[in-house]
């Protein structure tokens, strides 16, 4: 995938993130600015809370001006899907313009179509990072938010971005104050055991590490199924940030994780009726269908990999279930 080292692109992958026992861990985000109204302290971030007068990285808090910021997102990426999904659900198409990466990577990492980047005219995402965050060192990931006015990178932490965009531009509809403790609890569990858990299983390099991670994934799905069996949404009667964090993992599960990551103990559409109905309700909300790129996910997760798929053969299935079927939820 490559990375930037002091602003210079290199095809070196960097630290592998594999421990001695074969367990995989994710490299943390390197840029964590914040957007909030001047009279409203920043809300609790994904896994850390910024101080009232500064962003998590210590930078000044930026104002929530519609149209000022541009989101860069890859349709393959579940972390970026959080933002494109929230953008659709909250109706932020005009307030938050987006540039989509090409659904493939090369030795230049994520690519941008000619003319797709009106800010820097970049053809690769690492060029955006290098221009917007001089001297950046780390992985070049999506989503990433850029301040078009100052041409500076705001943040590449998906959890932070979901919270700040939902609060600043969505009127905190995804984080009602009364539900914030419950949302935070689900956010933490989902990030640790499911959103990131599927990757710990898929990237594990020992049988023990894989089995531990896979069992945690399915235990978490069981917990989610029980919750949605008795409640319309994860935190009760309102769709919240926790649902937005859960959906990209669920949407990819049967078409990608079930096969490519060996998470084949169960399928969402066959074995989790409450989750499957919940997922269809979200999928049928206005604008969400545009974020569902099942064939891109199938090809992307089965792309050539020396460890997981050395021949690069992409399966022709599975046959996709009907996401437009009535969900039957009141």
Active site residues: 77, 199
Q: Are strands 8-10 and 3-5 parallel, antiparallel or unpaired?
A: antiparallel
Helices (H), the chain: 78-89, 125-132, 158-170, 180-190, 197-202, 207-230, 241-252, 258-260, 268-271, 273-283, 294-301
Residues 6+ apart with CB under 8 A from 295: none
Contact call for residues 288 and 85 (beta carbons, < 8 A) = yes
Q: Helix, strand, coil shares of the chain as percentages rounded to 5?
A: 40, 10, 50
- Give the Å distances, CA to CA, from 277 to 81, 183, 190, 223: 20, 21, 19, 16
What values do phi and psi take at 5, rounded to 5? -125, 110
The residue written with tokens 């994520």 in the block is 110
Q: What angle do CA 237, 239, 245 make, to 5 degrees?
A: 135
- Tell me if residue 106 falls in helix, strand or coil: strand
The two tokens of residue 61 are 């808090």
The two tokens of residue 38 are 């001047």
Cα dihedral 68, 166, 280, 194 sign: positive
């Amino acid at each position: 995938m490559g990375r930037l080292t002091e602003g210079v692109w290199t095809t070196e992958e960097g630290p592998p993130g594999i421990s001695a026992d074969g367990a995989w861990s994710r490299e943390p985000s390197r840029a964590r600015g914040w957007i909030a109204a001047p009279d409203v302290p920043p809300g609790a971030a994904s896994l850390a809370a910024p101080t009232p007068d500064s962003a998590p990285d210590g930078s000044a808090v930026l104002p929530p001006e519609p149209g000022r910021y541009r989101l860069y997102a890859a349709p393959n990426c579940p972390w970026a899907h959080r933002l494109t999904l929230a953008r659709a659900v909250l109706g932020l198409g005009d307030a938050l313009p987006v540039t989509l990466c090409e659904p493939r990577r090369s030795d230049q990492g994520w690519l941008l179509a000619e003319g797709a980047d009106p800010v820097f005219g970049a053809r690769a995402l690492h060029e955006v990072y290098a221009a917007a965050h001089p001297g950046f060192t780390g992985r070049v990931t999506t989503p990433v938010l850029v301040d078009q006015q100052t041409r500076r990178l705001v943040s590449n932490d998906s959890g932070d971005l979901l919270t700040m965009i939902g609060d600043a531009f969505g009127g905190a509809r995804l984080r009602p104050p009364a539900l914030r403790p419950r949302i935070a609890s689900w956010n933490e569990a989902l990030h640790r055991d499911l959103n990131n858990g599927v990757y710990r299983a898929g990237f594990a390099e020992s049988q023990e590490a894989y089995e531990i991670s896979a069992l945690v994934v399915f235990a978490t799905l069981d917990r989610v199924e029980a919750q949605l069996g008795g409640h319309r949404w994860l935190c009760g009667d309102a769709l919240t940030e926790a649902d937005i964090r859960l959906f990209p993992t669920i949407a990819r599960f049967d078409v990608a994780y079930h096969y490519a990551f060996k998470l084949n103990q169960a399928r969402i559409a066959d074995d989790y009726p409450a989750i499957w109905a919940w997922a269809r309700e979200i999928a049928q909300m206005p604008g969400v269908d545009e974020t569902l790129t099942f064939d891109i996910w199938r090809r992307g997760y089965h792309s050539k990999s020396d460890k997981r798929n050395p021949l690069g053969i992409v399966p022709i299935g599975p046959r996709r279930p009907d996401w437009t079927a009535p969900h039957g939820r009141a």
